[in-house]
């Protein structure tokens, strides 16, 4: 088997990161903890999902190093551990929001999304 080139490693790592961020619930969690820690109850108030599903996504983000956590009594608080991941999420989500808002100033080649017909 050939050695993996540095370029291949970059693409594989980026694909792994995009895979981690490929669910709306995880993007919502990252957005929710951008401005400070939240416990599971607070996250469930903001994000429409079940408690078991929330816990699964929190565990995935924690294992990946995106989130940190601390226990206070019976509550577990989650916080953003990776500002770089938050920056990436903000950039992509902001661009998508601009495109969904119908910014016709963008050339088709500059868009992330295909045109949405409403």
Q: What mean pLDDT is predicted for residues 45-53? A: 97
- What is the tens place of the pLDDT at every residue in 50-92? 999 999 999 999 999 999 999 999 999 999 998 889 899 888 8
**pLDDT recorded at residue 114:** 64
Confidence of residue 105 (pLDDT cuts 50, 70, 90): low
Between residues 109 and 60, which one has the greater pLDDT? 60
How many angstroms separate the CA atoms of 21 and 24, rounded?
Answer: 8
Between residues 87 and 118, which one has the greater pLDDT? 87
**Max Cα separation, the chain?**
53
The domain 13-110 is classified under which CATH number: 2.40.50.140, 3.40.50.970, 1.10.10.10, 2.40.160.60?
1.10.10.10
How many angstroms separate the CA atoms of 108 and 74, rounded?
Answer: 51
Say whether pLDDT at 116 is over 60: no
- What is the tens place of the pLDDT at every residue in 2-31? 677 999 999 998 899 999 999 999 999 999
Task: Show me where the domains of the chain are located.
Answer: 13-110
């Amino acid at each position: 088997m050939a050695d993996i080139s540095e370029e291949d490693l970059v693409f594989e790592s980026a694909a792994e990161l995009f895979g981690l961020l490929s669910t709306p619930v995880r993007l919502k969690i990252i957005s929710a903890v951008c401005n400070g820690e939240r416990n599971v109850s607070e996250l469930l108030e903001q994000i429409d999902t079940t408690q078991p599903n929330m816990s699964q996504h929190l565990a995935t983000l924690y294992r990946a190093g995106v989130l940190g956590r601390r226990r206070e009594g019976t509550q577990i608080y989650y916080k953003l551990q990776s500002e770089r991941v938050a920056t990436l999420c903000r950039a992509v989500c902001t661009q998508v929001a601009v495109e969904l808002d119908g910014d016709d100033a963008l050339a088709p080649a500059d868009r992330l999304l295909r045109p949405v017909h409403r």
